[in-house]
């Protein structure tokens, strides 16, 4: 359950803490506001509910809901310059998603997806239902996203990029952003399932692998001699 700290439009007296909640393979609760499954929820530092949350005054609604219609968000990251909250979401059979989270927005699951059900029965694509938010980017074949962060170091020439761990893709996925658009994607082959990624103060990256004999790896740029 990733947690991200961002004001996300919060009131001036409290900074909101956003927490992702998967649908737990129950599907329909992702669309119902009496449930916080399949949602991004937002609370104050002291655990209370911000008064400017979008459903706080709705009858029978969970007041902590910030956005809905999510499947399984494996990472949440706040852009260091804009304060925008981005999440990376694991799709069903295809259709992994990168989403920019907006107050009160509905991202469509399980009504729409760019993937299909595991039994191969089809799910309508996002473009068939314009009332739902479309992913900024989706992947089929999937990357099976894990942890993610915005890189703000200087050791790699990646400042401002979103770095995403990949499980089935066995890679780090670097996404260059321009505002709300992905302008480039680079995959760094790790030959290992990546569970999470962390930036160290010097700009190096730590990644942890998803394996019975898991590894903690430190990534730094290759020296000129090692590239020969």
- Domain that includes residue 91, residue range: 1-139
Query: Which secondary structure element, helix H or strand E, spans residue 76, and what is its range?
Result: strand 73-78
Residue 226 has pLDDT above 60, yes or no: no
pLDDT tens per residue across span 145-203: 999 999 999 999 999 999 999 999 999 999 999 999 999 999 999 999 999 999 999 99
* pLDDT bucket at 11, cuts 50 / 70 / 90: very low
Phi/psi for 78 (5° steps) reads -100, 130
Select from 139, 156, 179 the last residue of a domain: 139
Domain boundary among the residues 113, 139, 165 is at: 139
**Verdict on whether the full-model pTM lies above 0.85:** yes
**Tally of structural domains, the chain:** 2
Domain CATH code at residue 220: 2.40.10
Q: How many CB atoms sit inside 10 A of residue 65's CB?
A: 24
Q: Can you tell me whether residue 145 is helix, strand or coil?
A: strand
Q: Specify the higher pLDDT residue, 176 or 8.
A: 176
92 shares a domain with 4: yes
């Amino acid at each position: 359950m990733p947690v991200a700290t961002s004001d996300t439009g919060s009131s001036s007296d409290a900074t909101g803490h956003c927490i992702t909640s998967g649908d737990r393979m129950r599907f329909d609760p992702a669309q119902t506001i009496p449930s916080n499954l399949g949602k991004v929820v937002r609370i104050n530092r002291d655990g209370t509910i911000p008064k400017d949350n979008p459903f706080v005054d709705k009858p029978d609604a969970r007041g902590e809901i910030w956005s809905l219609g999510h499947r399984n968000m494996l990472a949440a990251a706040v852009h260091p310059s804009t304060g925008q909250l981005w999440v990376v979401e694991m799709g069903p059979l295809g259709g992994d998603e990168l989403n920019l989270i907006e107050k009160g927005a509905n991202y469509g699951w399980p009504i729409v997806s760019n993937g299909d059900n595991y039994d191969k029965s089809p799910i309508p694509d996002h473009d068939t239902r314009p009332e739902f938010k479309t992913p900024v980017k989706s992947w089929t074949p999937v990357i099976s996203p894990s942890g993610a962060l915005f890189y703000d170091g200087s050791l790699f020439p990646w400042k401002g990029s979103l770095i995403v761990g990949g499980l089935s893709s066995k890679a780090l996925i670097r996404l260059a952003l321009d505002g709300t658009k992905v302008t480039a994607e680079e995959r760094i082959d790790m030959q290992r399932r990546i569970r999470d990624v962390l930036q160290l103060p010097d700009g190096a990256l730590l990644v942890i692998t998803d394996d019975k004999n898991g590894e903690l790896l430190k990534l730094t740029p290759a020296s000129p001699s090692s590239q020969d």
